[in-house]
Structure 1
């Protein structure tokens, strides 16, 4: 089984995340997309980052209707701080019959050379890169790499930061979130302060 790993804090998960995940599930050779929730690093205080459980629950709510997309808490069980290479090695051991790939926004390639063991990641895994509107240019070393696949996907100009800020300002952002995610945020009064 070919699994695309879509990492993120998903704070909160929004329709842009789901559109990208579903696009890849339906328009690539990937069989499943796992939305891998990045846990809160206890060594860093990040203002506005909801507890891991709440963010994971919202990803479950957002993906429950999509057979090929699922939430993953695999990084919750790994030592912190965690690196992508460690997660990949752990997943290979746990699911030896699966073939894992990474999903990332085009802007993330600019700093990819700073990732721990990025050469090993590129040697053993494929990267599916979706377009992002940004000023960043892809470094030459990644432009024609056989393991990096630029995909034609909708360009979504929507961010979790934008959503959090609008909630704080009392604006209606309901159309930007899956319905059950909006209900969960509204019920729990998240991001109001």
Structure 2
């Protein structure tokens, strides 16, 4: 039987405790057996200028997840042509691990609203489950996705922490250490990032 893997895509700039809480909730309270943090080199919808180097962000995800056997860092998108799209990553993963894993996507409920703008979103919905966690900015049910057989709502805790907030507070000289895994805080501090 294929192992069920949740793919949690993000720039993780930086990864914070909110990301870990959601990922851990997914592996403990759904049928997902592992969550892979897919570090995105460049999201087509985001400006690249604010991003730390890909490998620094990957290293922080590695540091944050190394104590959790069901949570794994993934740099699979680093080798793909940029800008990359989720469908390309899924095709690449299927080719790399034929018949080994059953992949699913993890996303915040607010992201469902823009799913129809994704490249080949119909193909994604047809072939992959999407595990959705609530966000503080609840959105109306998206008619086409309401009761869709591939959408799995997971009652995860609502996290109001964002990487943007963390970057701003570091720059402002605030102590945000409790919002980050200790190893990530030490990495940022040592490298003098976001100051």
Name the TM-score, length of structure 2 as normaliser. 0.95
For residues 152 and 184 of structure 1, the distance between their equivalents in structure 2, rounded to whole angstroms, comes to: 32
Between Structure 1 and Structure 2, how many residues are aligned?
Answer: 191
Residue aligned with 1:112, SS: helix
Superposed CA deviations along residues 82-123 of structure 1, whole A, max 9, x for unmatched, are: 110110011011111210000000000000011011011000
Shift of 1:139: 1.4
Q: Which residues of structure 2 form unaligned runs of 5+?
A: none
Q: CA deviation at 1:55?
A: 0.3
Asked if structure 1 preserves the Cα contact closer than 8 Å seen for 2:35 and 2:72, the reply is yes
Aligned to 1:77: 79
Cα shift readout 1:32-55 (whole Å, capped 9, x = no counterpart): 10000000379x853331000100
CA distance in 2, matches of 1:80, 1:123: 25
Deviation at 1:81, TM superposition (A): 1.2
Which of 67, 70, 78 pairs up with 2:69? 67
> Does structure 1 retain, via aligned residues, the 8 Å contact 2:42–2:83?
no
Are the aligned partners of 1:105 and 1:131 in contact in 2 as well (CA < 8 Å)? yes
Query: For structure 1, which runs of at least 5 residues remain unmatched after alignment?
Result: none
Alignment partner of 1:123 out of 126, 136, 144: 126
What is the alpha-carbon distance in structure 1 between the residues aligned to residue 95 and residue 47 of structure 2? 32
